[in-house]
């Protein structure tokens, strides 16, 4: 091989003075970095993914992991990553597949948006003392209400309301499929959303029987592969989501590597054991906006118009008119997934280059819907790279009704964002179907962690709102006056409809 090997990504070291030779690193590393030879633990650094499982489990803090232990000649254009990608493709002639979300170091708009707070002229609100209204309804809202006086003089609502989901906090967990992630991860999150009064998506891998007790908190997904979709599945969900696109890979379908298709996954998806689960790029019964209407109505008809239907699209250049089309299609909510959205597996070139940031997508969709007078027709859910309660508050101020989190929820379960989700070896028991690894998550404990994260963000959101003198999420929604842009150019500020800091 004239190309030789590329330098290892990480170097693993054991402080032999600290090490008590307990072997927990060997047991915990599913990538096979450690093995014992006679009485010594040997290290194969090249296998390390920096998932930090060994570091977390080492009782003596004896392990160190160093990134990029070998330097390339530094170069501003021909970066290490670019050179290595070319070497990989020179060897294979293949598409580079990657996990997790966009890994490029490009500016994050959230970090250049600043929130407002009250000083003197209007008082801030103490959420400890005053009620903060975070309850959010997802679904169509009537443009006007018709009321009627009953015979005994009461007022009754005459307008027929469309089904809505009632959220106690505007944070939902997005769709990650059974198959991409383990059953114990799903169970942990399902228990957490039930406890915190919110919802989670099932992804398109069907619904495992173990999740039935949480079905009134689950949004079932219908994607282009139609995996796991039958009438029972649709009836169990609190809402149904049609996935058209995903922020991590707009324009292409899903790909669950055959390594993860064990018997359980094969059964719920109804595909051969060990074969790749392929979701095509389009839905093959949707080739136009009229066809989308047909599927939405088909799903509503199948479930007797009792459930809201969401449509999820990737944030792409024309996201605003597309969302406006969806708002006119009988859909109850549009989910916009920004280009930082995560994934179990996506071609790297898509993950890192296709789509637009969620911040601008929320702003332009909200604006377009307002301009057309149809904002009440549809709820807007933002997703793809929501990392904190600050991102959440900014998303709502830009015009979202609620957000989906994905990676953040996985981090609360132990994920260290090593990005090797497609290998079925996740040492944290998340992106794997191997029973021994999956059992590293105790769903009861996992649920506490996920619920803690949602509670903490909810508390922080209340504090942020209180500081801004806002006591209802409705008053924050689309309230771009409470945002200022810092180091954003004029064009971007215009799209976001946000003033620069100081103005």
Partner 1 sequence: MIEMKTIRIDAKGIHYTPLNQQIRAAVADGAEEIILDNVLGQRFIGTGLKGNVLITINGVPGGDLGMFMSGPICIINGNAEHAPGNTMDSGMLVIHGSAGDAVSHSMRGGKVFIRDNIGYRGGIHMKQYKEETRPILVVGGTAHSFLGEYMAGGLVLLLGIGKEKSITDRGIGSGIHGGEIIIRGEVDDYLLGVGAKKFKFNESDLERIAPVIKSFCEYFKLDPAEFLDTNYTRIAPESSRPFANKYVWE
Minimum distance of partner 1 from residue 90's CB (angstroms): 11
Minimum distance of partner 1 from residue 416's CB (angstroms): 16
Pick the closer one to partner 1 by CB: 285 or 371: 285
**Which residues pair with residue 42 across a beta bridge?**
35
User: What tokens does 312 get?
Assistant: 């999820």
Minimum distance of partner 1 from residue 423's CB (angstroms): 7
Pick the closer one to partner 1 by CB: 121 or 288: 288
- In degrees, rounded to 5, the angle at the alpha carbon of residue 292 between the alpha carbons of residues 138 and 276 is 95
Q: Per residue, what are the HEC states of 179-202?
A: CCECHHHHHHHHHHHHHHCCCEEC
Minimum distance of partner 1 from residue 255's CB (angstroms): 7
Minimum distance of partner 1 from residue 145's CB (angstroms): 24
Minimum distance of partner 1 from residue 404's CB (angstroms): 24
CA distances from 111 to 83, 126, 264, 321, 362 (A): 30, 26, 42, 27, 16
User: What tokens does 286 get?
Assistant: 């949707």
Choose among 331, 376, 399: nearest CA to 145. Answer: 376
Pick the closer one to partner 1 by CB: 419 or 478: 419
Q: Which residues of 262-298 are buried (b: 16+ CB within 10 A; e: fewer)?
A: bebbbebbebeeeeebebeeebeebeeeeebbebbee
C-alpha to C-alpha distance for 140 and 476, rounded to whole angstroms: 19
Pick the closer one to partner 1 by CB: 95 or 456: 95
| Sequence-separated (6 or more) residues with CB below 8 Å from residue 322 | 313, 316
Pick the closer one to partner 1 by CB: 284 or 370: 284
Question: Which DSSP letter does residue 110 get?
Answer: G
Pick the closer one to partner 1 by CB: 425 or 438: 425
Minimum distance of partner 1 from residue 204's CB (angstroms): 11
Strands (E), 124-260: 136-138, 147-149, 155-157, 165-167, 171-173, 200-201, 218-222, 239-243, 255-256
Minimum distance of partner 1 from residue 354's CB (angstroms): 16
Choose among 221, 191, 192: nearest CA to 207. Answer: 221
Pick the closer one to partner 1 by CB: 204 or 463: 204
Minimum distance of partner 1 from residue 233's CB (angstroms): 9
C-alpha to C-alpha distance for 83 and 125, rounded to whole angstroms: 54
Pick the closer one to partner 1 by CB: 217 or 423: 423
Report the interface residues with partner 1, using CB under 8 A.
88-89, 91-92, 94-99, 225-227, 229-232, 234-235, 255, 258, 266-267, 269-272, 274-276, 278, 280, 284-285, 294, 297-298, 301-305, 347-348, 419, 422-423
């Amino acid at each position: 091989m004239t190309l030789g090997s590329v330098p290892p990504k990480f170097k693993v070291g054991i402080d032999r003075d600290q090490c008590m030779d307990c072997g927990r690193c060997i047991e915990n590393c599913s990538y096979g970095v450690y093995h014992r030879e006679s009485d010594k633990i040997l290290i194969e650094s090249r296998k390390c993914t920096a998932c930090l499982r060994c570091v977390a489990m080492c009782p003596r803090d004896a392990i160190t992991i160093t990134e990029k232990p070998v330097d390339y000649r530094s170069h501003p254009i021909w970066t290490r990553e670019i050179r290595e990608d070319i070497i990989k493709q020179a060897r294979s002639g293949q598409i580079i597949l990657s996990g997790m979300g966009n890994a490029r170091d490009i500016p994050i708009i959230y970090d250049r948006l600043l929130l407002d707070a009250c000083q003197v002229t209007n008082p801030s609100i103490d959420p400890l003392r005053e009620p903060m209204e975070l309850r959010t309804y997802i679904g169509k809202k009537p443009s006007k209400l018709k009321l009627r006086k009953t015979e005994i003089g009461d007022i009754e609502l005459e307008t027929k309301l469309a089904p809505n989901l009632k959220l106690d906090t505007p944070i939902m967990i997005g769709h990650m499929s059974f198959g991409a992630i383990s059953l114990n991860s799903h169970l942990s999150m399902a228990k957490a959303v039930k406890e915190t009064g919110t919802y989670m998506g099932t992804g398109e891998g069907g619904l495992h029987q173990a999740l039935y007790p949480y079905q009134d908190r689950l949004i079932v997904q219908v994607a282009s592969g139609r995996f796991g979709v039958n009438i029972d599945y649709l009836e169990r969900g609190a809402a149904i989501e049609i996935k058209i696109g995903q922020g991590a890979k707009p324009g292409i379908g899903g790909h669950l590597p055959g390594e993860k298709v064990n018997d359980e996954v094969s059964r719920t998806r109804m595909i051969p054991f060990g074969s790749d689960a392929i979701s095509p790029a389009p839905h093959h019964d949707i080739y136009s906006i009229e066809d989308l209407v047909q599927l939405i109505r088909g799903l509503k008809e199948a479930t007797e118009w009792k459930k809201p239907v969401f449509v999820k699209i990737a944030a792409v250049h024309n996201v605003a008119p597309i969302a406006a089309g969806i708002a006119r299609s009988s859909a109850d909510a549009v989910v916009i997934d920004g280009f930082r959205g995560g994934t179990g597996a996506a071609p790297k070139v898509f993950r890192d280059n296709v789509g637009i940031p969620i911040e601008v997508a929320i702003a332009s969709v909200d604006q377009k819907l307002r301009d057309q007078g149809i904002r009440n027709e549809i709820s807007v859910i933002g997703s793809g790279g929501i990392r904190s309660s600050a991102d959440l508050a900014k998303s709502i101020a830009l015009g979202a009704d609620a957000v989906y989190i994905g990676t953040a929820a996985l981090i609360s379960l132990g994920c260290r964002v090593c990005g090797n989700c497609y290998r079925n070896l996740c040492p944290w028991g998340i992106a794997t179907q191997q029973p021994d690894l999956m059992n590293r998550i105790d769903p009861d404990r996992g649920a506490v962690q996920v619920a803690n994260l949602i509670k903490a963000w909810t508390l922080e959101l209340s504090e942020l709102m209180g500081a801004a003198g806002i006591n209802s999420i409705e008053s924050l929604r689309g309230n771009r006056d409470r945002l200022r842009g810092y180091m954003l150019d004029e064009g971007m500020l215009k799209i976001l409809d946000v003033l620069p800091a100081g103005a």
